[in-house]
Copies of this chain bind each other. A is one copy, B any other.
Amino acid sequence: MLCDALGERALAVREPGGTPVGEQVRTLLKDPSVEIGPHAEALLFAAARAELVERVIRPALEAGRVVVSDRFLDSSLAYQGEARGLGVDEVARVNEWAVSGLKPDITFLLALPATEAAARGAEDDRFEAEGAGLQIRVQDAYERMAAAEPERWRRIAADRDPAEVHGEVLAEVESALAGVAA
C-alpha cells in the first residue's frame, strides 16, 4: 500500500524471503514442527537478510529506488537478541556483518496494544504459536529501541483506521524523500 502510493520508485520486500535462499529459510523458520535453537534461528534470519541485501536491496538503492522492507535487522534484535535472551549487542554484530553495515533511513514502529496485536496475528507459525509472553518481550524491545534512536524511528499508533495509519506513514516518507529529492 505504501509502495503503491510511492509509485515506481518504490520496491517492497519482506523478511525473511525475497531470494531463493531467503524463501527456503522462510519455510524452515515458519514451520512449527521444526525445533530450532536460538542461535540457529538468529543465524538463519541473518543468512536470509544477507542475501536480500546483496541481491535485491543494495542494487535497488544503487539504482536510486526507495526500498520498503516488512521487517529488517531490528526485528532480530527484538526477537533473538532480547526476547530469546541472546543479547542485543551480539545479534547486532552478526547482523551488521551480514548486511555489510546497511542501515534503514527510517524505521516505523506500528504500535498496537498487545491484546489487539494478538487478535490480529492470524499467522499460524512458530512465533505466534509461542503466545503472548514472547510477543510482549518483543514489543518492549521495539519500544526501547525506538526511544533510544528517535532520529531513525517513527512510532505510529496503529490502533486506528488503516487509512489513517497509512496516511501518517506516507507523510513521513514523503517528507524524508523531499529532503533528498533528485
CB <8 Å contact, A97 and B94: yes
22 sampled A-B residue pairs with Cβ under 8 A: A20-B34, A20-B35, A21-B34, A21-B40, A24-B28, A24-B34, A37-B50, A37-B51, A39-B47, A39-B50, A39-B51, A39-B54, A39-B98, A40-B48, A40-B50, A40-B54, A40-B98, A43-B46, A43-B47, A43-B94, A43-B98, A94-B94
Return chain B residues, CB-CB under 8 Å to A94. Answer: 43, 94, 97
Whether A71 sits at the interface, judged by CB under 8 Å, is: no
Whether A55 sits at the interface, judged by CB under 8 Å, is: yes
Give 1 or 0 for each of A8-31: 1 = CB within 8 Å of chain B CB.
Answer: 000000000000110010001000
Closest to A55 in B: B37
Neighbour of A97 across the interface among B34, B35, B39, B48, CB < 8 A: B39
Q: Which residues of A are in contact with B by a Cβ distance under 8 Å?
A: 20-21, 24, 28, 34-37, 39-40, 43-44, 46-48, 50-51, 54-55, 90, 93-94, 97-98, 100
In the complex, A46 Cα to B40 Cα: how many Å?
A: 7
Residue among A28, A37, A48 with the most chain B CB within 10 A? Answer: A37
In the complex, A36 Cα to B23 Cα: how many Å?
A: 12
Q: With contacts A21-B40, A39-B47, A39-B51 known, what are 12 further pairs, Cβ within 8 A?
A: A20-B34, A21-B34, A21-B44, A37-B51, A37-B54, A39-B50, A40-B47, A40-B48, A40-B50, A44-B44, A94-B94, A94-B97
